Structure 1
Amino acid sequence: MADLQEEPHTVGTGTQDPVAPAPTPARPAGALDRAAALLAVHPVADGCNTLVWTLRQSPYLDIETPDTGVDTDIPRLRSGGVGAQFWSLLVPSDAETGAAESSDAETGGDAGGPDRVVSETLEQIDAALALMRRYPDSLRLALGADDMADARNRGRIASFLGPVSGRAVTDSLGALRAFHALGVRVVAPAGAPWARRELTPFGHEVVREANRLAVLLDLAGCAPAVACRLAAASKAPVVVSNTGAASLNPHPGNVTDEVLLALRAASGLAMVTFDTERTGDSLHAVADHVDHVRALVGPEGVGLGAGFGAARARPRPAGLTDASGYPRLIAELLERGWSEADLALLTWGNAQRVLRGVEFTARAAQHRRS
């Protein structure tokens, strides 16, 4: 294992994208150079990558070499300046929360049944841990903010487990504690019976226990009213791990301004996705969503949750087609007048702040309990 004197990884300028089907917008070298220099010190902490599920379907893919079949591999993570990644443990039926919640509400059921959800979640956790064991020189399991910083100092990509689906918690706080013991640090309530149309009394218990365990709540996919209640009920900061601004594009997966203001009140974080359907088909459109979130939540409340990890057939904005594209977005924001201090918050600082806030709340809860 490398020691602390190991030279941290650096990032490329992102001017080359050999596997991207769409042309990359031209950008002055100066802005890209500044973006690369910033990311070398303040790398991206990305809130959402679904590669774990993709690798379960194609277990022989080697992510140490670029592969045109997926949009994420270690070279492109390095080139993109990614220093921390939240590996989504949702399965497709959980990730498509809008349709899932609508279907469940109509039928009164839980598609697939709770046993199936729990078993699939355990398979996802096992696959994520196997991924880190397979690439120990690049990926390092992280359980908190200190691990995130330590991984960066050692030239590794800090790897967080989660979110897992709130449906996997079923009606048992013991299940939440068991997932925490396995290393899970994020739970997504969307679609769970206790956070579907309203936050039920058991839902409030889940929030309190998540706060005590230092488990981050991810409100992605929640109905706006439920998202606002979750943000208000949690004593720790909450996040939306991948989203766009509904006021710019009324996609059901995007958050409303009401939710953004609730995140601001809760010291939370909205992480903007790179998804053509939700944020538009260009880098400039994605930057518009980032600008809008910052305008409502403030520079301390905006981050990036690209949603990479799927097959390359999924449409992506031009210039942001894979995990090497982050420097181009940072260069665009520099040209829009963002300060380097605010960009350091966007890429790294805000994720660190939220994690430390969750950990502080947990220590305070444990102290009161003792």
Structure 2
Amino acid sequence: MKTTLSYAALVLASSLSINASHAQTTEHPASEKAKQLAHEFLLIDTHIDVPYRINEHWENVAEATKDGDFDYPRAVEGGLNAPFMSIYIPASYEQSGGSIQLANQLIDSMEALVGRAPDKFAMAYSTDDIKQNKKKGLISLALGMENGTPIEGDLKNLQHFYDRGIRYITLAHSQSNHIADSSYDIRRQWHGLSPFGKELVKAMNKTGVMVDISHVSDEAFYQAVEISATPVIASHSSLRKYTPGFERNMSDDMLLALKKNGGVIQINFGSSFVAQQANRYGDMLEKRIEAVKKKYGEDSAETQRRIEELKANNPYPYATLEDVLDNIDHVVQLIGIDHVGVGSDFDGVGDSLPVGLKDVSDYPNLVQGLLDRGYSDADIKQILGGNLMRVWEANEAYAKTH
């Protein structure tokens, strides 16, 4: 789990071991049709944090695993064809150095996974690879870099990571870097993109690497969509409409700009991304704990008793599948069916996933929810993967002619 400041509420929830709402129940139990569609259609999830997960605690995800949100058997059960495996680089590497080494190690781990289980997985470097791997019954492993720090101000590194399979780059993460300001960082040193960041966006277009605007500040987003000659993605974001004041998510004005650009927002499943109560939970509980410490002393027995009582009486308010569906609905109603997809953040948001969407076996529940809300089979096909493929193909086509 990515324990940065951006995930403070999620870390707190996990540290409390609150599981009251963790049951695998849903208001939309998947019908046979939902399961059929999940397996028939191309299902792309643009953000799954397996590489960093197994770098910290190795498991063979080609087999069933005890921990985590992804493994091969559950992926097959859920109908997942093409996860973008996140090459996640913590923000601290901008100062400490070593980001290129870590990125290469994480990419190596995905290539090793394919090497261990070539009957189950295959690398995917293009939209054609995605299609061919599906025909062969293999799960495609595509790669996206979360945090552009490993570019290290040198466009030669962009080419290096393209050659290694990176097909999108999230420009920044939880702190501003040499490319862009982060939505989480109050220091807006660039007021959007840095001069190098503006050049990098153009170079990504020409190289065939999708520009990912998840995590960046609003100014950086608007500059990126203005500069980019190709459609951008938000690889794992949700909507500010349901989390007021949470800049990490996208506003309605940003969605309208995304439509004009031709891009797509891939909805993040994390409870704090899709529901206001979960989004504010960490801050609420921390304020109450601080008040208790102030009144009864930092380390007193009474303070500890009251903190435990607070935690017991205020369980983490997990979002539900309905909240995720509400986010999808709003995108469709505002900018159309062509601009929304799936970017779950599985293995990246700890124990904060919604009821009914706890791991990669649960995509049929999402399909059932879409069916219940009146989405056609063609609509669902676009949401599950068609929209992302359109954007990726547009980036490929531009790079071939530039």
Q: Give yes or no for TM over 0.5.
A: yes
State whether residues 46 and 236 of structure 2, in contact with CA within 8 Å, keep that contact through their aligned partners in structure 1: yes
User: CA separation in 2, counterparts of 1:263 and 1:310?
Assistant: 24
- Aligned counterpart, 1:194: 179
State whether residues 218 and 247 of structure 2, in contact with CA within 8 Å, keep that contact through their aligned partners in structure 1: no
Gaps of 5+ in 2: 1-20, 182-190, 276-318
User: CA separation in 2, counterparts of 1:89 and 1:23?
Assistant: 29
State whether residues 70 and 310 of structure 1, in contact with CA within 8 Å, keep that contact through their aligned partners in structure 2: no
1:135 partner letter: A
Task: Answer yes or no: is 1:219 the counterpart of 2:221.
Answer: no
**5 Å matches for 1:243-254?**
243-250=237-244, 251-254=246-249
State whether residues 242 and 272 of structure 1, in contact with CA within 8 Å, keep that contact through their aligned partners in structure 2: yes
- Aligned counterpart, 1:83: 81
User: CA separation in 2, counterparts of 1:133 and 1:164?
Assistant: 24
Deviations 1:314-345 (A, max 9, x none): 22100101111111011011111111111100
State whether residues 121 and 164 of structure 1, in contact with CA within 8 Å, keep that contact through their aligned partners in structure 2: no
User: CA separation in 1, counterparts of 2:196 and 2:127?
Assistant: 28
User: CA separation in 2, counterparts of 1:133 and 1:36?
Assistant: 29
**5 Å matches for 1:325-340?**
325-340=362-377
- Aligned counterpart, 2:25: 24
Structure 1 runs (4+) greater than 4 angstroms displaced: none
Q: How many equivalent pairs are there?
A: 326
Equivalent residue for 1:170, pick from 126, 134, 152: 152
Equivalent residue for 1:279, pick from 274, 281, 284: 274
The 10-residue stretch of structure 1 (209-218 or 159-168) with the greater mean CA deviation from structure 2:
159-168
State whether residues 48 and 87 of structure 1, in contact with CA within 8 Å, keep that contact through their aligned partners in structure 2: yes
User: CA separation in 2, counterparts of 1:226 and 1:112?
Assistant: 21
SS of the aligned residue for 1:87 comes to strand
1:45 partner letter: I
TM-score, normalisation: structure 2: 0.77
Q: Alpha-carbon deviation of 1:68? A: 3.0
**How large is the Cα RMSD of the aligned pairs?**
1.8
User: CA separation in 2, counterparts of 1:181 and 1:292?
Assistant: 37
**5 Å matches for 1:120-269?**
120-190=102-172, 191-196=176-181, 197-250=191-244, 251-269=246-264
The 10-residue stretch of structure 1 (116-125 or 269-278) with the greater mean CA deviation from structure 2:
116-125
Whose radius of gyration is greater, 1 or 2?
2
SS of the aligned residue for 2:266 comes to strand
Task: Answer yes or no: is 1:34 the counterpart of 2:16.
Answer: no
State whether residues 283 and 317 of structure 1, in contact with CA within 8 Å, keep that contact through their aligned partners in structure 2: yes
SS of the aligned residue for 1:53 comes to helix
SS of the aligned residue for 1:85 comes to strand
User: CA separation in 2, counterparts of 1:66 and 1:232?
Assistant: 44
Equivalent residue for 2:338, pick from 276, 283, 300: 300
Equivalent residue for 1:346, pick from 376, 383, 398: 383
SS of the aligned residue for 2:359 comes to coil
State whether residues 77 and 324 of structure 1, in contact with CA within 8 Å, keep that contact through their aligned partners in structure 2: yes
Deviations 1:103-138 (A, max 9, x none): xxxxxxx7433x322222222222222222222112
Distance 1:325 1:306, change over 3 A: same
SS of the aligned residue for 1:328 comes to helix
- Aligned counterpart, 1:70: 68
State whether residues 71 and 310 of structure 1, in contact with CA within 8 Å, keep that contact through their aligned partners in structure 2: no
User: CA separation in 2, counterparts of 1:262 and 1:165?
Assistant: 22
Distance 1:143 1:319, change over 3 A: same
**5 Å matches for 1:100-115?**
111-113=94-96, 115=97
SS of the aligned residue for 2:231 comes to coil
State whether residues 224 and 256 of structure 1, in contact with CA within 8 Å, keep that contact through their aligned partners in structure 2: no
User: CA separation in 2, counterparts of 1:259 and 1:27?
Assistant: 30
Distance 1:242 1:164, change over 3 A: closer
Task: Answer yes or no: is 1:47 the counterpart of 2:30.
Answer: no
State whether residues 62 and 113 of structure 2, in contact with CA within 8 Å, keep that contact through their aligned partners in structure 1: no
State whether residues 94 and 149 of structure 2, in contact with CA within 8 Å, keep that contact through their aligned partners in structure 1: no
Percent of aligned pairs with the same amino acid: 29
User: CA separation in 2, counterparts of 1:130 and 1:252?
Assistant: 37
SS of the aligned residue for 1:242 comes to strand
The 10-residue stretch of structure 1 (349-358 or 33-42) with the greater mean CA deviation from structure 2:
33-42
Q: Alpha-carbon deviation of 1:309? A: 2.2
Deviations 1:134-191 (A, max 9, x none): 2211211111110111111111111111124211112111111111111211111123
TM-score, normalisation: structure 1: 0.84
Q: Alpha-carbon deviation of 1:217? A: 1.0
Q: Alpha-carbon deviation of 1:310? A: 4.5
